[in-house]
Chain A
Amino acid sequence: MNKEFIKRLTLAHGWLGLVFSGLLFIIFFAGSIALFRQEINLWSMQPHFPVTSGQDIGVNEVLKTALADRDYDSQEHITLILPSQDSHYYKAYIDIKDREQEPHYDELLIDPVTGVIVNEGYKFDLADFIYRLHYNLNIPSGKYVLGFVTLFFLFALISGIFIHARKLVSNFFQYRGEKHKRSQLLDMHNVVGVISLPFTIMYAISGLIFNLVIIYQVAFALTVYKGDGEALLKDAGFTTIAPEWLDKPVNHVDIDKLIAKVSHEYQVAPRMLTIYNYGDESAVIQFRSQDTSEITTLYNVAYSLVDEGVMMKSDNDNPNTLTVGMGVLRKLHYGNYASIDLRFVYLILGFGVCGLIITGNLLWLEKREKMRSFSVRTLSVARYFTVLSSAGIIVSTSIAFLCERLMPINWLERVNILAQTFWLSLAALAIIYVLPRVRANYRQALAISLYVSAVILLLTLLVSLTTVGQSLVDLFIVGHYSVFAVDISLFISALLLAKIGHSMMKKVSRVTNTPQDDLRPAMND
């Protein structure tokens, strides 16, 4: 390959990688944790509520409980998520008539055995907060910002293939000894990059489709569909269910019977149902499945709630390629088409990419630190953002876990407090990392931050044991292992962080004791 071509690509790969590395680290770090968001959500919520065992009372009864004494808007829709491994309870979302403030709906957790409403309102946001951090940073238009970051990530992958192409196979197992620090970093960067390539390409393309599809959607709607966006959505298989209100009251229908019929037809029970115009002759019920043993979505069907006639059907017998394809991409992206071990593989690869990002930045820094003419200020800024976007995010996430466990569930603002705690701790770290003493040795700052994260995670475990310890034991006895598993994961993460921090600290003290101090340029700025 042309030398000049590789040189230009290497320059772009290095600079763009450095500029977008911070946001990219957040995407992969938060995304890897968010693979287990159902389990984290259970960890947040379940120990606060009793777990019952026995016969499920069914949707008809649950719906009665949910709507009783509630001024619901029957011309809107009611959504029910049925109990599963992810949640022991029914989740109900009910639109309230003329409610001006947001949310305009009530969110309920209903016990499937006793039919008691165990919780009202949205209180446990940790898992969703981390998930939103992954795809939109919890900021308006963050989705598009991260979309463009993903675009540059795909560029970095493709340019990386070109740069490394000649040695892709021959250097696959190459990992050089400790004496060559730069070679060590380079080998780590290359090996992780090559091994995770199919995974990262899949992630980059699916992430781009999720976040930036609007660009091609608008272009196609304006040109091919002459401005008719509805026609495009129809061809794409997105059907909107909006039955017209007839104002003809009807008796409530046996929904459990309909669920049995759908479950029998598809051999899989629905996961979610939405009822439109409940109580009117125009009422429609929509069922959606979620089967983790298949990579494709099984069905999405809607029936008239009065005569049970089919209003809309999208299943494996009536597929729309785009809908099915998007479903496959979603499952590939979330790794939820097989058992939990697949998500562990995704987790390891995700954290591997976090390592890839940090080693990339360190390589860039090492190279420029040796160039006497290179701007000291640029180096300083690059070091600062590397530490803040990696260690800062790890510490803030650990604090968010601790905060979730510390907050009593009757605090109305606990969702906002969690978000504010995360951002405030990141802001505090941003100030700490700018202090001259910290800036003087960014590797030491990284190592200490990892230690701090480990301590915070251990503290979270301690709080768990003291505040909800008995519930944890009860849950374990009745076979609900998810909460316990998250606690174990936090413990393992604390040990790993402490171990990495310790080994980094050892290297830092070894380097600072050497006369040819590698970090001297850093100390001078």
Chain B
Amino acid sequence: MWSKTFIAIVGGCILSISLMLNLNFMIPFKIDTRLFIGLLFSFPMWVALMVWCYASENFKQAFKRCSLLFIPSAMFNALFLLN
């Protein structure tokens, strides 16, 4: 269980940042509203990912799950940032 804690904290944090960046680029509101929505949803998102990691069989599965979600999300990040 303790090995899953590492991926739950670090992986959950990075992935939630990445997902929030995408959300920030996609929602059609003013910047202050987008920032607030991002702030409000980022931590629950992180915790949701933690639940997903702890529900995994082991560290490897948790890592795999996070990576599979992170790769497309990071690609969208790159796309948005380059544009």
A interface with B by C-beta (< 8 Å) = 4-5, 8-9, 11-12, 15-16, 148, 151, 154-155, 158-159, 162, 205, 208-209, 212-213, 215-216, 219-220, 223-224, 235-237, 320-323, 325-326
Contact = CB atoms under 8 A, between A and B. Distances in A.
Contacts of A235: 31-32, 35
Contacts of B51: 9, 155, 158-159, 162
Looking at A4, A148, A159, the one whose CB has the most chain B CB atoms below 10 A away is: A159
B32 A320 contact: yes
Contact of A322 (B17, B35, B50): B35
A224 B23 CA distance: 12
A155 B5 CA distance: 11
Contact of A216 (B8, B9, B17, B56): B17
Contacts of A158: 47-48, 51
B39 A5 contact: no
Contacts of B35: 220, 235-236, 321-322
Interface residues on B, range: 20 to 34
Contact of A321 (B1, B17, B36, B44): B36
B67 interface: no
30 contacts: A5-B55, A9-B51, A9-B54, A9-B55, A12-B4, A12-B54, A151-B9, A151-B47, A151-B50, A155-B47, A155-B50, A155-B51, A155-B54, A158-B47, A159-B54, A209-B43, A213-B39, A216-B17, A216-B20, A216-B39, A219-B20, A220-B21, A223-B81, A224-B21, A224-B24, A235-B31, A235-B32, A321-B32, A322-B39, A323-B32
Interface in B13-42: 13, 17, 20-21, 24, 30-33, 35-36, 38-40, 42
Given A8-B1, A322-B33, 18 more contacts: A4-B57, A11-B1, A151-B50, A154-B44, A155-B8, A155-B54, A158-B47, A205-B43, A213-B39, A215-B17, A216-B17, A216-B20, A219-B21, A223-B21, A321-B33, A322-B32, A325-B36, A325-B40
